[in-house]
């Protein structure tokens, strides 16, 4: 039986580049090469595409130039060498790109043009989830609680008198915790807005929600959804900043993850059902991590949705799935199967 040809895209010309490479290295450890023939496509920090042997330490220097052809007759890669090119037909792509240009619909649009099935959310849901203000509008209209929020465009000034402090100031369309600040006093607001604008011209200001931070991993399409065990972010001080540590593999300076989350059974069920409702309302497919706040009165409030969550050794999504009895190798199997099934519909 022929192996499934899987293109694995990682790296990227954004601030999430190092995290993406780490996700690729973890996937390389768990991808079943008896079933799959992997083609590793690394994108350097400067935006060059390289076909390499894997996401090892020297991949940026050893790979061959490659592009994903938008021509559907190619259905895959054009490998460039000495003025000529060879084609590699792909059956499916795993885009292991986080944040801008990987999680916002840009890569998904290129794959749609190429006609190649891919794992994860499609163009509209990727773009919608990437813009937190639009996510909140859709979810609010679906009857699910969101934080009170304000958006500030590039030329706008914000009136601190309209806000109830503390607030969080963040780029509206960025990944992880890059550019995020907690603001407790009005005089701190201008600097926080400028910090967020380093990552996006559109800035989101949201009221702080008093509640426990809970994560839910979701896997599947339409109504056939699997959720992993929940986790809870336990903080010693400050606020949760994912991927900001110098060595996240050794742990965070202010947070740990409790899996399964130490919350009552009825709260657990409510969070899981709410996460699935959020996933469906936003049109997600494949996989996503839905982060919420669980308030003391039992209310579930959306925090954010990550449509291509990290798959590193320390990432929350694979940890929650593993706690539910689904190791990363099986998660990857399902991601590939879901991508191929959806494209055949």
Active site residues: 19, 22, 98, 243, 249, 289, 310, 314
- Burial per residue of 111-149, b for 16 or more beta-carbon CB atoms within 10 angstroms, e otherwise: beebebbbbbbbbebbbbbbbbbbbbebbeeeebbbbeb
3-class SS of residue 266: helix
CB proximity list for 254: less than 8 A, separation 6 or greater: 235, 236, 237, 238, 240, 241
Q: Are 314 and 328 in contact (CB under 8 A)?
A: no
* Helical segments of the chain, H only: 17-30, 59-62, 106-114, 123-130, 132-141, 189-197, 265-281, 316-323, 328-344
Mark 302-314 as b/e (b = at least 16 C-beta within 10 Å). Answer: bbebbbbbbbbeb
CA 58, CA 320: separation in Å to the nearest integer? 31
């Amino acid at each position: 039986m022929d192996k499934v040809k899987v293109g694995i895209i990682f790296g990227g010309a954004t601030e999430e580049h190092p995290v993406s490479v780490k996700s690729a290295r973890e996937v390389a450890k768990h991808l079943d090469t008896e079933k799959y023939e992997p083609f590793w496509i690394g994108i350097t920090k400067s935006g060059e595409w390289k076909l390499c042997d894997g996401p090892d330490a020297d991949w940026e220097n050893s790979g061959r130039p490659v592009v994903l052809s938008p021509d559907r007759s190619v259905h895959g890669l054009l490998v460039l060498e000495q003025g000529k090119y060879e084609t590699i037909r792909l059956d499916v792509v795993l885009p292991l790109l986080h944040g801008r240009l990987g999680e916002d619909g840009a890569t998904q649009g290129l794959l749609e043009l190429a006609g190649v099935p891919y794992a994860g959310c499609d163009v509209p849901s990727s773009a919608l989830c990437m813009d937190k203000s639009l996510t909140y509008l859709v979810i609010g209209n679906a009857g699910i609680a969101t934080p009170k929020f304000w958006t500030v465009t590039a030329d706008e000034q914000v009136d601190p008198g309209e806000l109830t402090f503390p607030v969080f100031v963040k780029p509206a369309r960025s990944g992880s915790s890059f550019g995020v600040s907690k603001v407790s006093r009005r005089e701190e607001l201008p600097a926080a807005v400028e910090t967020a604008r380093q990552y996006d011209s559109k800035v989101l200001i949201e009221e702080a929600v008093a509640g426990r931070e809970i994560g839910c991993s979701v896997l599947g399409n339409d109504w056939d959804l699997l959720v992993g065990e929940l986790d809870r972010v336990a903080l010693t001080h400050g606020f949760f900043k994912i991927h900001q540590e110098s060595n996240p593999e050794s742990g965070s300076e202010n947070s740990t993850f409790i899996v399964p989350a130490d919350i009552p059974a009825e709260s657990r069920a409510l969070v899981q059902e709410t996460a699935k409702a959020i996933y469906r309302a936003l049109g997600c497919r494949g996989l996503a991590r839905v982060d919420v706040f669980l308030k003391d009165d039992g209310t579930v409030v959306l925090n954010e949705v990550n449509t291509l969550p990290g798959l590193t050794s320390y990432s929350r999504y694979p940890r929650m799935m593993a706690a539910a009895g689904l190791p990363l190798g099986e998660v990857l199997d399902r991601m590939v199967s879901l991508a191929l099934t959806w494209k055949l519909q």
